[in-house]
Homo-oligomer: A and B are copies of this chain.
Amino acid sequence: MSLRHALLGLLSEDPASGYDLLKLFENSLANVWPATQSQLYGELGRLADAGLITVRSEGARGRKEYAVTDAGREELRHWLLDVPPVPIRRYDMLLRVFFFGQISADDAIAYLREQQQAAAAEGERLAELGKMIAPHQDNFTVYGRLALEWGLRSSRLHQEWAEWAIGEVKAHDPAANTDPCEPG
């Protein structure tokens, strides 16, 4: 139920419409908690029903601007302070690694190289994001940068691990010829 708190958190900084929130997500929370448009509108409805947010004003094209209520602020604080985050361990990418025995060493190495490149690209993307948000000094951006740093370190970890793992696979099957080197 974290989307609920993501929305409460965004609305705690500034009132906004569903559409606004959707845009706000794109360059910030979507990196740590993706949400689709339909999910977002659905959750806003439920939050309003629960009295955690209210429609502060209605504008053109049916636009509804939401603001948090005191109950909503309370719920957000409770979640921040009392609910321990659940460590997520669900890595599609690592699952495949367990089954490398089912494919050739060359295919395994190709897989790892792709992962390494994907991680490098992700690092690039985050670095760009960092430049883009550089001027802002609001709380949300300041603390978001902590998350960004996590992402940068994580993409480095992915790259370094993949390189290391390629070495391990080669050591395990010296016949692998992806990176040509004189056979002994």
**This chain: copies in complex:** 2
A158-172 vs B, CB cutoff 8 Å, 1 = contact: the mask equals: 001100110011001
Q: Which residues of B sit under 8 angstroms from A153, Cβ to Cβ? A: 157, 160-161
Q: Does A36 contact B (CB under 8 A)?
A: no
A164-B161 Cα distance, complex, nearest whole Å: 21
Q: Does A100 contact B (CB under 8 A)?
A: yes
Q: Does A76 contact B (CB under 8 A)?
A: yes
14 A-B residue pairs with CB within 8 Å: A9-B102, A32-B89, A32-B91, A32-B94, A33-B90, A80-B96, A80-B107, A91-B147, A98-B143, A98-B144, A149-B164, A150-B161, A153-B157, A154-B157
Report A's interface with B, CB cutoff 8 A.
Answer: 2, 5-6, 9, 12-13, 28-29, 31-34, 73, 76-77, 79-81, 84-103, 107, 111, 114-115, 118, 122, 139-140, 142-144, 146-147, 149-150, 153-154, 157, 160-161, 164-165, 168-169, 172
